[in-house]
Structure 1
């Protein structure tokens, strides 16, 4: 039985969608998880044929033993895949140990560490000013050297979904940010970067045999509330031809420098006074509804093509259509117990709306956003122009209402 082993999955987003796509491709789907509830009730994971429960997914010896046990059960392991940090390069390494199709392990591992990737690309023009704040560094010295350069972004080297990514405008806010981050990351140094102004873009990239096979440009709308929450995605993002050529050249140099030969990643970049600056790079497809956004605009199921690379197959990336897509994510401004959500059916009735997703269940505690995980609904609309797609999505999103009991 041809089988794909997945390491970790969220209940929603690209990691979950990959399970469904693998099943549709005809593979037996095995999910290795450290979430006991997913073993007891797989109603949310109907596409999973077999669960493997592990206390520590990063226990490489146990992972090898579990996959070996699957082989002894008669499963033909075709790939080991993860679309969740920090398991992406780890899954690629497991694949190599079983002599499966190889992806660029060292490159994927490099992208998992925000400090390591900054150091690798420190001499590139796309790299903004940054410094590394270590546990024993002096705040007084930092203030003396960099006071004139505020505001800054501070983040741990290992994070995702904008968790623990903070905007600090003063030395007092930096002190508070360091205190907060040290609680969650007591032994880490922290990355401190200049805060850049300009339109922000997410770029989905797929590389096969050293060649960029797909480059999808998505313009982002970002909510700045001391954190960085993306609330809108417009695909394809608008840039002129010179800006696109410059972007492609920058990305090609980055891909070459980090040695990504086979695999996928996404970058976040800003266009600052006509120059591209790298905000972040991650060794996987972006989360949430990114695959659906790209598929609605191009007809390409990018996740399926990414899985093909992990299976050692050549991806097929032929556009079947060209549409403008806008995805609007909804957040709330207070904290409370969710009593009910209304308006999904009404939102779907708007012409051009392709998808409406409501994330939280009734009875859950929901809150104002401090990470991307606090986006509670998504409306995706399609039209012939970017302006029309955005207008449709925003109007449809007004139909959705959250009813809370203060908590």
Structure 2
């Protein structure tokens, strides 16, 4: 029996291989760029995954490649960008798949907020516009300030702008117009409060909260994700309220099966949605969850691909430890050369592990969003707070070396 993943999260391939091995199933990875998985493909377990080189955003080529896989039983959909390809391919091959319309709704940030606002599940609607045809004065009349402007289908904190006053609109529109292929933006209120994400798994309309992740962002005006910790220990009443809130939101979207990574803010007036990602959280969050619970959460991808209730819906989840992560960013754009201080990892408490996302010689185009990440550092601790201090301490001992871009 074979299961195919059409691309996958940056890191997590090892966990997928582990799950396939336990089940006695063959794992295939369809990818347009093997280099994206260079770190994991250099590990011993890489021999246990069959790599299929194909243009993964071309559904015709993907379907052709999938038809050549012997005894293919299901498709793993783990990422945002390839959602439509995965769903269409599964539908064509008559394989189990999620509610396509629900995934499309959630992937469209502007449409999603309007949908939830109409049902009383968020305090504000969205304003969707084309930066190339919208005039500043016309847009200013439609917005409240401060607002966040972002790509309706964005990720990795890319193409997100904070618009504090009307004066910020003109430079924001100009910046958006310089982004190739960016034709739809959504403007939403800028809610005040700490940012979290709730990690969930849904089956047959039943949603289970797997835990909550805290995160810190860079100072304004950017929204660069810098640290994560899991699991957050909320008071019991707050945890129950959050579970009911997120379940109601997913029910309103008719999202009936699959992982979700829902970002939210706890404002002075309660929970407020930022966005829903119809997948397991990225940035090695799945690895943090697996370490915290002592299980392989990626195993659920195989149940979902086969169209059966994931065992993760019913397993007892008791944290064995806390986990925390720091994303290491290049200090400037240019050519990544390496990370100094790695010899200290084995000396530090919390078993810190470095997971590179760039190789020596790779170009780093920007540092204000996810494009500037060169590695992730994960550490554990007896509690989540201890894990957080462990990873911050170790991160401070590492130094990212860059060769600056040549200046004209």
Count of matched residue pairs: 397
Give CA-to-partner distance per residue, 1:109-158, whole Å, 9 cap, x none. 22121122122212334354532224543321332454xx3221111211
Residue 156 of structure 1 contacts residue 181 of structure 1 at CA under 8 Å; is this kept in 2?
Answer: no
| RMSD (CA atoms) | 2.8
Following superposition, the deviation at residue 99 of structure 1 comes to 2.6
Q: Which residue of 119, 126, 140 maps to 2:122?
A: 126
Q: Give the distance between the partners of 1:111 and 1:267, measured in 2 at CA.
A: 10
Corresponding residue of 2:139: 142
Q: Give the distance between the partners of 1:5 and 1:165, measured in 2 at CA.
A: 33
* TM-score, scaled to structure 2: 0.87
Q: Give the distance between the partners of 1:102 and 1:50, measured in 2 at CA.
A: 22
Following superposition, the deviation at residue 312 of structure 1 comes to 2.3
- CA distance 1:65–1:363, change in 2 (3 Å): closer
Following superposition, the deviation at residue 261 of structure 1 comes to 1.5
Residue 126 of structure 1 contacts residue 278 of structure 1 at CA under 8 Å; is this kept in 2?
Answer: yes
- CA distance 1:132–1:361, change in 2 (3 Å): same
Structure 1: which 4+ aligned runs deviate by more than 4 Å? 36-45
- CA distance 1:346–1:228, change in 2 (3 Å): same
Corresponding residue of 1:327: 325
Corresponding residue of 1:360: 358
Q: Give the distance between the partners of 1:241 and 1:303, measured in 2 at CA.
A: 27
- What residue ranges of structure 2 are gaps of 5+ in the alignment? none
Residue 203 of structure 2 contacts residue 256 of structure 2 at CA under 8 Å; is this kept in 1?
Answer: yes
Q: Give the distance between the partners of 1:405 and 1:140, measured in 2 at CA.
A: 42
- CA distance 1:398–1:190, change in 2 (3 Å): same
Determine if the alignment matches structure 1 residue 344 to structure 2 residue 342.
yes
Q: Give the distance between the partners of 2:260 and 2:31, measured in 1 at CA.
A: 23
Residue 300 of structure 1 contacts residue 320 of structure 1 at CA under 8 Å; is this kept in 2?
Answer: no
Residue 326 of structure 2 contacts residue 392 of structure 2 at CA under 8 Å; is this kept in 1?
Answer: yes
Corresponding residue of 1:245: 240
Corresponding residue of 1:64: 63
Q: Give the distance between the partners of 2:38 and 2:286, measured in 1 at CA.
A: 29
Q: Give the distance between the partners of 2:62 and 2:27, measured in 1 at CA.
A: 16
- What residue ranges of structure 1 are gaps of 5+ in the alignment? none
Q: Give the distance between the partners of 1:93 and 1:269, measured in 2 at CA.
A: 30
Residue 356 of structure 1 contacts residue 378 of structure 1 at CA under 8 Å; is this kept in 2?
Answer: yes
Corresponding residue of 1:377: 375
- CA distance 1:4–1:163, change in 2 (3 Å): same
Determine if the alignment matches structure 1 residue 27 to structure 2 residue 22.
no
Q: Give the distance between the partners of 1:231 and 1:113, measured in 2 at CA.
A: 25
Q: Give the distance between the partners of 1:242 and 1:406, measured in 2 at CA.
A: 51
Give CA-to-partner distance per residue, 1:30-88, whole Å, 9 cap, x none. 22233376899995583564443434x34333333332233xxxx11111123222222
Residue 219 of structure 1 contacts residue 237 of structure 1 at CA under 8 Å; is this kept in 2?
Answer: yes
- CA distance 1:101–1:186, change in 2 (3 Å): closer
Following superposition, the deviation at residue 314 of structure 1 comes to 2.6
